A and B are shown apart, each in its own frame.
Chain A
């Protein structure tokens, strides 16, 4: 990271430059990501799609600083992740990145409110009660603040997870199959919520999914195959249509 780079990419919350990730060594080496260069603009939603084994999850893990790429460079909110120590990366993740996962991943011992406040507590801040309540209200769960995850439905748990991802006002939220464990109704609710957060609060969302309907909520769809960017769909006028996404996916899968 150098100072001169910053203005040029100021509008991109996350940049991947020539990022590669190889698992194993020698004959057993598997290339999950092959010199991928991608940028995610602030205030937009991007869906990452691709067949199984195309490197979607690896891309997300590397972009979020959860996994270390074997080559290339990842810059999040203007900071190069490469030279950072584990603790420094955690601090950056805490401040700049939010996560939403398929399996919700809430702490079972904590209430909804406590789960939302957790990132702030870990950062050593005293979480302002209003902010926590506001985040829960934003996801429509103001009345469930004192419930534990086991007392909430799947859709509600996922909305608590979204509130938790938002509480630190992150530069980017990564979502890994956020609707994978939800029924159609709950899925629509969660996706609508993410879309509204992008439009009204300028949130940056990167979402890995294999569901064309979910991808249709994004501004841009990136297709991965064999660890490379194979295709891309953007619609200037509005989000890409699910049918078009499904066609491209089908084409990709048959090419494999």
Chain B
């Protein structure tokens, strides 16, 4: 009864908590709904298959995608023939794939992360979509493609293939599933020529055929039926789902912690304001436990209302949220959110848990209020610095000092980490020690104010000095928000810049040639056309079975003799053997990898190549270096890679030739020429993605921070009505009262910004010098001024709105009501 009555009469004191919890529940609920919608699905390209027969997968390896050991095209055809002969099986189609992307307006259609999009026309029989115009490809040089490409039957298009850019004639178009290109379908004969091995066979059959297919294949292949066919989803979707899980996990985590923080701080402030009320309760016979429970009950009731509101908000905004995430390339573009009750219920329950967690310390403080406090006539500001505050604040300061002291001499990565942890500790320490640190700062900050004509400066100075706790409560969220944004965004941009410079210097070439935007890689034809000392490696994968019979996938890099000569001049060191013998079936590897696998010079190793054939390789040299060219685990001759994998691509070509010469030589489409630093900065959209993540986190923290600021100031203003009345009685107009409050709010935002900026800016400077030491040349300090300005402006606008408007309204009425 008491809690409910308090909620009814002091509802404004719970607005901040309600808003924070409702926002948190909405965020959690919408996140849950979006995550549910990212369930795997059967790709439209294979939707009409009744069963999928897949080549066996390798065991999963951390940091690499799980690949399937391909069958050779002949093996797959033979297997498909046997499957097709089974009772109830109407068709069995080997799904040949090869690298293909249409060149549209200087960029590649689709995405660099896509799996090979080229297929034989027979694979089109497995797709849920069909021809919308034209006819099937009938001759080499004809292609059927997605109508979203914008080409009509009879048009000429350029397809980027592993052999090089090639002209094709469109023979027909299909209506693909939406944002993904449906694929490029050529004749089966041409697909066989362009493709490597086969990893899956699509089967059309009746319901009973699955058992017969399994009986035929035994454990030589995996048979997927029904829902299990979602395992054939593109790697890009698996990647996106992992990314979405990560992003949404971070959003959920941050949302939860910030709402705990907001609930804790608003209740702490509210409890302080209501000390007299609690003392009174104690006086009329409430034991401490009852006071504690009263506050808990208030929090739970607010959280229940907020849970309901937040769930409705989540349900209403989930699709919009999914679209925003899709725009940031964190979930797939055509995500349909369906409403399910349980993620919303879970979010609402989490909201209550957050409220209970956040309110804990306020409850304990409320229960500690002595009944005698009800009898004190003046509401004296009790000592704002509790023992716990001192201890926590000094400990955090110590941690910050230790982190700063151990910064130099550590590696770049640990320098960044130490600086971040140190800055976080410094911010926490400032927030905790605020009431002790603020008075001298306030005196300094108010000095210019008191020189102004009028009383505002004096009043602001005195009332903020006597209400240090209020000022500290309002300053803390501004400081936290600003320092979080500066630190996160600043360290990201600074370290990105540093690593890009480092990478560019390490390679030591002048120009980098890569695929056109969204393209997966370069063909040998384009790489060969790069003038100067061109260095590149062609990438492929082989499958290796060790003595115990365990299969694993190994990345290999194929290099030309010219490239090999160039890299051995640089940072690659020959340890043993002879690199001139790196031809045909020879390979070289790092000594540690050779030892781990038990290979000695001259040993022969048989692996399965990407085209499904067995490949006998002999170890001819051991080379040492941080990374083998191309980042592979083994070096082989370029020709050998192409012989075993016609779909192999080259990620990047470096050359020492002047940029203009390179651009002129590559007049044909299919490549991007850039200087080294620009190239190093572009990490395939990865930094854009990180940037998106950071902006999401900064937005969430700024949103909760703004809520916290607004709430603290609103609550403070409500308690200052008598003060406004006194000012009015002393002759101040309502405008002057509003002016005093506006000055104070601006002071609060300025102090918070200054404190947050000093701590995080200091951490960034330290981080910069550590990074510069690491890479041996200066690192520019890149500060996100736009983001910082935006956050400070938002904080200021919200602080002014939350304090000046209610103060003005209150001071207009204060004379009349009393």
- A residues sitting closer than 8 Å to B (CB atoms) are 57, 61, 66-67, 86-87, 90-91, 93-95, 99, 101-103, 105, 107-110, 114, 118-119, 121-123, 148, 164, 168, 176
User: Bound state CA distance, A119 and B284, in angstroms?
Assistant: 6
Please tell me which one of the listed residues B6, B283, B288, B372 contacts residue A86 in the complex, with CB atoms under 8 A apart: B288
User: Bound state CA distance, A94 and B282, in angstroms?
Assistant: 9
User: Bound state CA distance, A164 and B285, in angstroms?
Assistant: 11
15 of the cross-chain contacts (CB-CB < 8 Å) are: A90-B285, A95-B285, A99-B284, A105-B283, A107-B2, A107-B280, A108-B9, A109-B2, A109-B8, A110-B2, A118-B2, A122-B284, A122-B285, A123-B285, A148-B9
Q: Which residues on A sit within 8 Å (CB–CB) of B282? A: 90
Shortest beta-carbon distance from A74 to chain B in Å: 15
Shortest beta-carbon distance from A96 to chain B in Å: 10
Q: 1/0 per residue B282-315: CB within 8 Å of A?
A: 1111111110000000000000000000000000
Docked-complex contact B283 and A114, CB < 8 angstroms? no
Docked-complex contact A61 and B372, CB < 8 angstroms? yes
Q: Which residues on B sit within 8 Å (CB–CB) of A103? A: 377
Shortest beta-carbon distance from B270 to chain A in Å: 13
Q: Which of B1-50 contact A (CB under 8 A)?
A: 1-2, 5-6, 8-10
Please tell me which one of the listed residues B1, B6, B288, B289 contacts residue A121 in the complex, with CB atoms under 8 A apart: B1
In the assembled complex, B217 has its CB within 8 A of some CB on chain A: no
Interface size class of B (residues with CB under 8 A): 20 to 34
Please tell me which one of the listed residues B2, B287, B371 contacts residue A66 in the complex, with CB atoms under 8 A apart: B371
Q: Which residues on B sit within 8 Å (CB–CB) of A119? A: 284-285
Using known A-B contacts A107-B281, A109-B10, A176-B375, determine if residue A87 contacts B287 with beta carbons closer than 8 Å. yes
Chain B residue nearest to A99 (CB atoms) is B283
Given contacts A103-B377, A109-B2, 6 further A-B contacts (CB under 8 A): A66-B372, A90-B371, A94-B284, A105-B280, A107-B280, A107-B281
Q: Which of B263-286 contact A (CB under 8 A)?
A: 277, 280-286
Shortest beta-carbon distance from A161 to chain B in Å: 10
User: Bound state CA distance, A67 and B370, in angstroms?
Assistant: 9
Docked-complex contact A67 and B284, CB < 8 angstroms? no
Shortest beta-carbon distance from A23 to chain B in Å: 12
User: Bound state CA distance, A118 and B9, in angstroms?
Assistant: 17
Docked-complex contact A107 and B277, CB < 8 angstroms? yes
Shortest beta-carbon distance from A163 to chain B in Å: 12
Shortest beta-carbon distance from B100 to chain A in Å: 72
In the assembled complex, B79 has its CB within 8 A of some CB on chain A: no
Docked-complex contact A90 and B2, CB < 8 angstroms? no
Shortest beta-carbon distance from B213 to chain A in Å: 71
Using known A-B contacts A109-B6, A109-B8, A114-B5, determine if residue A122 contacts B374 with beta carbons closer than 8 Å. no
Docked-complex contact A66 and B6, CB < 8 angstroms? no
Q: Which residues on B sit within 8 Å (CB–CB) of A90? A: 282, 285-288, 371
Shortest beta-carbon distance from B398 to chain A in Å: 31
User: Bound state CA distance, A87 and B291, in angstroms?
Assistant: 12
Docked-complex contact A121 and B2, CB < 8 angstroms? yes
Q: 1/0 per residue B370-390: CB within 8 Å of A?
A: 111011010000000000000
User: Bound state CA distance, A168 and B284, in angstroms?
Assistant: 10
Chain A residue nearest to B376 (CB atoms) is A103
Q: Which residues on A sit within 8 Å (CB–CB) of B285? A: 90-91, 93-95, 118-119, 122-123, 168
Q: Which residues on B sit within 8 Å (CB–CB) of A105? A: 280, 283, 374
Shortest beta-carbon distance from B292 to chain A in Å: 12
Q: Which residues on B sit within 8 Å (CB–CB) of A110? A: 2, 5
Shortest beta-carbon distance from B626 to chain A in Å: 67
Residue picked from A90, A108, A121, most chain B C-beta under 10 Å:
A90
Q: Which residues on B sit within 8 Å (CB–CB) of A86? A: 287-288
Shortest beta-carbon distance from B172 to chain A in Å: 75
Q: Which residues on B sit within 8 Å (CB–CB) of A94? A: 284-285
User: Bound state CA distance, A78 and B674, in angstroms?
Assistant: 94
User: Bound state CA distance, A164 and B284, in angstroms?
Assistant: 9
Chain A residue nearest to B371 (CB atoms) is A66
User: Bound state CA distance, A101 and B5, in angstroms?
Assistant: 23
Q: Which residues on A sit within 8 Å (CB–CB) of B1? A: 114, 121
Q: Which residues on A sit within 8 Å (CB–CB) of B281? A: 107, 118, 122
Shortest beta-carbon distance from B191 to chain A in Å: 78
Residue picked from B1, B2, B287, most chain A C-beta under 10 Å:
B287
User: Bound state CA distance, A148 and B277, in angstroms?
Assistant: 15
Chain B residue nearest to A57 (CB atoms) is B375
User: Bound state CA distance, A119 and B285, in angstroms?
Assistant: 6
Docked-complex contact A109 and B9, CB < 8 angstroms? yes
Using known A-B contacts A107-B281, A114-B1, determine if residue A91 contacts B371 with beta carbons closer than 8 Å. no
Shortest beta-carbon distance from B525 to chain A in Å: 81
User: Bound state CA distance, A94 and B281, in angstroms?
Assistant: 11
Chain B residue nearest to A65 (CB atoms) is B371
Q: Which residues on B sit within 8 Å (CB–CB) of A95? A: 285
User: Lowest 8 CB-CB distances: which A-B pairs, in order?
Assistant: A94-B285, A109-B9, A109-B5, A87-B287, A90-B287, A119-B285, A109-B6, A122-B286
Shortest beta-carbon distance from A204 to chain B in Å: 18
User: Bound state CA distance, A93 and B375, in angstroms?
Assistant: 16
Chain B residue nearest to A105 (CB atoms) is B280
User: Bound state CA distance, A2 and B509, in angstroms?
Assistant: 97
Shortest beta-carbon distance from B1 to chain A in Å: 7
Q: Which residues on A sit within 8 Å (CB–CB) of B290? A: 122
Chain B residue nearest to A104 (CB atoms) is B280
Chain A residue nearest to B373 (CB atoms) is A66
Q: Which residues on B sit within 8 Å (CB–CB) of A164? A: 284
Q: Which residues on B sit within 8 Å (CB–CB) of A114? A: 1, 5
Chain B residue nearest to A165 (CB atoms) is B284
Q: Which residues on A sit within 8 Å (CB–CB) of B375? A: 57, 61, 66, 101, 176
Please tell me which one of the listed residues A57, A61, A118, A148 contacts residue B284 in the complex, with CB atoms under 8 A apart: A118
Chain B residue nearest to A161 (CB atoms) is B284
Chain A residue nearest to B370 (CB atoms) is A66
Q: Which residues on B sit within 8 Å (CB–CB) of A123? A: 285
Chain A residue nearest to B377 (CB atoms) is A103
Shortest beta-carbon distance from A177 to chain B in Å: 10
Q: Which of B486-533 contact A (CB under 8 A)?
A: none
Q: Which residues on A sit within 8 Å (CB–CB) of B372? A: 61, 66-67
Q: Which residues on A sit within 8 Å (CB–CB) of B287? A: 86-87, 90-91, 122
Q: 1/0 per residue B100-132: CB within 8 Å of A?
A: 000000000000000000000000000000000
User: Bound state CA distance, A101 and B281, in angstroms?
Assistant: 14
User: Bound state CA distance, A90 and B287, in angstroms?
Assistant: 6
Chain A residue nearest to B277 (CB atoms) is A107
Q: Which residues on B sit within 8 Å (CB–CB) of A102? A: 377
Please tell me which one of the listed residues B280, B284, B289 contacts residue A87 in the complex, with CB atoms under 8 A apart: B289
Q: Which residues on A sit within 8 Å (CB–CB) of B277? A: 107-108
Shortest beta-carbon distance from A234 to chain B in Å: 28
User: Bound state CA distance, A102 and B277, in angstroms?
Assistant: 15
Q: Which residues on B sit within 8 Å (CB–CB) of A122? A: 281, 284-287, 290
Shortest beta-carbon distance from B817 to chain A in Å: 11
User: Bound state CA distance, A198 and B10, in angstroms?
Assistant: 38
Chain A residue nearest to B280 (CB atoms) is A105
Shortest beta-carbon distance from A129 to chain B in Å: 14
Residue picked from A107, A123, A168, most chain B C-beta under 10 Å:
A107
Residue picked from A105, A119, A123, most chain B C-beta under 10 Å:
A105
User: Bound state CA distance, A176 and B371, in angstroms?
Assistant: 14
Using known A-B contacts A105-B374, A114-B1, A121-B2, determine if residue A87 contacts B283 with beta carbons closer than 8 Å. no
Chain B residue nearest to A87 (CB atoms) is B287
User: Bound state CA distance, A211 and B180, in angstroms?
Assistant: 90
Shortest beta-carbon distance from B376 to chain A in Å: 10
User: Bound state CA distance, A94 and B287, in angstroms?
Assistant: 9
User: Bound state CA distance, A123 and B286, in angstroms?
Assistant: 8
Q: Which of B343-400 contact A (CB under 8 A)?
A: 370-372, 374-375, 377
Chain B residue nearest to A88 (CB atoms) is B287
Shortest beta-carbon distance from B383 to chain A in Å: 16
Q: Which residues on A sit within 8 Å (CB–CB) of B286? A: 90, 122
Shortest beta-carbon distance from A79 to chain B in Å: 15
User: Bound state CA distance, A57 and B8, in angstroms?
Assistant: 35
Q: Which residues on A sit within 8 Å (CB–CB) of B2? A: 107, 109-110, 118, 121
